[in-house]
């Protein structure tokens, strides 16, 4: 009997049905399937009210597509951190109602740990522990020593902007649209990544595994609009734009690569697991794979559908259920940031 997983950690409302052998029977993400395009990063559906409106249809759709009925469910798993209280509570309340009505177990899981568990779904036995894990998305950029599916030690992470956010803000500086990742990647095609010397903050600091992207964003802004220039400087075009985008992209990727190499060196791990939407970036993906070949490390990157926010990665709930764990109706949300979440140990 399968597991129902529910995700409402930020903007996406998602549900998935996963068999015990970790086969994903269905995976539904509302923002991709039901909603209209976004405009420059504004996410009107961010409100928990939108989660409330979508959660039941999304769950029903996941159950229908899996070819089962609610009565077939063995358990419920809900992402309970990190995120906004209001949004998290919508998913938790729906999950509790289903668990209580059916008399089945419910377990909470960590959204960030689940991003890395997507590597287990995509690559099966190649996901060996301990490994180094990187989650890089619009809202999160953190590096972990992953001792087991639910046992993560945070090694470091961004001290300012997340990697995906850095791409979004760079795209805004360059006059490009949202989301910034694909826009920068497209604009960078044909550009010279060495055209501009942009900073790689903290990249050479071997005492810490933290990352910083804020200074890179600001340096890019100075190139486009030097201090003292009028506010209506026209957006860069053509070769100028391509060189700026390529130089930014290279600097962002280099910053991440430096910390991945340091984490592998310090931990001695031979497996590198990557999660989060930023891994859709081709330069980052190819650079990490090259790093893996150079260091003799097995690099695991899930397909795009498992990198962006989804509930299929809630398959991680099976890890706790197989240990006989059940949070019951006492389960509560643990809002906050990556870092505050990392300080709390999931039961």
The answer to the question of residue 308 lying near other proteins (CB under 8 A) is no
> By CB neighbour count within 10 A (0-12 exposed, 13-18 middle, 19+ buried), where does 39 fall?
exposed
Strands 141-148 and 75-81: unpaired
Binding region for other proteins (CB under 8 A) out of 80-88, 114-122, 180-188, 320-328: 80-88
The correct pick among 19, 20, 41, 295 for binding other proteins (CB under 8 A) is: 41
The answer to the question of residue 275 lying near other proteins (CB under 8 A) is no
| Strands of 24-29's sheet in order across | 24-29, 14-18, 3-7, 75-81, 106-110
The answer to the question of residue 199 lying near other proteins (CB under 8 A) is no
Q: Which two tokens stand for residue 277?
A: 């939407």
E strands within the chain?
A: 3-7, 14-18, 24-29, 75-81, 106-110, 131-136, 141-148, 151-157, 271-275, 298-300
Longest dimension (CA), the chain: 66
The correct pick among 13, 48, 279, 308 for binding other proteins (CB under 8 A) is: 48
Indicate the helix (H) or strand (E) that contains 259.
helix 238-267
The correct pick among 160, 289, 298, 325 for binding other proteins (CB under 8 A) is: 160
Q: Which of residues 215-234 bind other proteins (CB under 8 A)?
A: 217-218, 221-222, 227-228
Residues 6+ apart with CB under 8 A from 119: 127, 133, 273, 274, 275, 300, 301, 302
The answer to the question of residue 243 lying near other proteins (CB under 8 A) is no
The correct pick among 8, 27, 31, 158 for binding other proteins (CB under 8 A) is: 158
84 vs 313, beta carbon nearer other proteins = 84
The answer to the question of residue 181 lying near other proteins (CB under 8 A) is no
25 vs 43, beta carbon nearer other proteins = 43
Binding residues vs other proteins (CB under 8 A): 10, 41-44, 46-50, 82-87, 138-140, 158-162, 164-165, 168-169, 172-173, 210, 214, 217-218, 221-222, 227-228, 336-337, 339-340
């Amino acid at each position: 009997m399968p597991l129902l997983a529910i995700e409402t950690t930020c903007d996406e409302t998602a549900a998935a049905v996963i068999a015990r052998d970790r086969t994903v029977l269905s995976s539904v993400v509302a923002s991709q399937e039901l909603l209209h395009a976004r405009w420059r990063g504004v996410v009107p559906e961010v409100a928990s009210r939108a989660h409330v409106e979508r959660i039941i249809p999304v769950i029903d759709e996941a159950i229908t597509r899996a070819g089962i009925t609610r009565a077939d469910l063995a358990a419920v798993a809900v992402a309970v951190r990190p995120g906004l209280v209001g949004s998290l509570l919508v998913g938790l309340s729906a999950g509790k109602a289903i668990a209580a009505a059916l008399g089945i177990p419910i377990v909470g899981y960590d959204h960030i740990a689940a991003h890395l568990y997507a590597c287990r779904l995509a690559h099966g036995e190649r996901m060996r522990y301990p490994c180094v894990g990187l989650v890089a998305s619009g809202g999160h950029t953190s590096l972990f020593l992953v001792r087991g599916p639910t046992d993560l030690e945070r090694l470091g992470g961004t001290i300012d902007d997340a990697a995906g956010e850095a791409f979004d803000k760079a795209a805004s500086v360059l006059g490009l649209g949202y989301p910034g990742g694909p826009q920068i990647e497209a604009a960078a095609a044909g550009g010279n990544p060495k055209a501009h010397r942009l900073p790689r903050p903290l990249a050479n600091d071997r005492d810490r595994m933290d990352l910083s992207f804020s200074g890179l964003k600001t340096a890019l802004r100075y190139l486009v609009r030097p201090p003292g220039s009028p506010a209506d400087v026209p957006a860069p075009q053509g070769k100028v734009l391509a060189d700026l985008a390529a130089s930014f992209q290279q600097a962002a990727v280099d910053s991440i690569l430096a910390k991945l190499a340091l984490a592998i060196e310090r931990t001695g791990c031979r497996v590198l697991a990557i999660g989060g939407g930023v891994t859709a970036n081709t330069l980052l993906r190819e650079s990490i794979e090259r790093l893996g070949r150079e260091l003799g490390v097995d690099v695991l990157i899930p397909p795009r559908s498992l990198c962006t926010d989804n509930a299929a990665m809630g398959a991680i709930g099976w890890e706790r259920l197989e240990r006989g764990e059940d949070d019951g109706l006492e389960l509560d949300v643990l809002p906050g940031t990556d870092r505050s979440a990392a300080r709390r140990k999931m039961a």
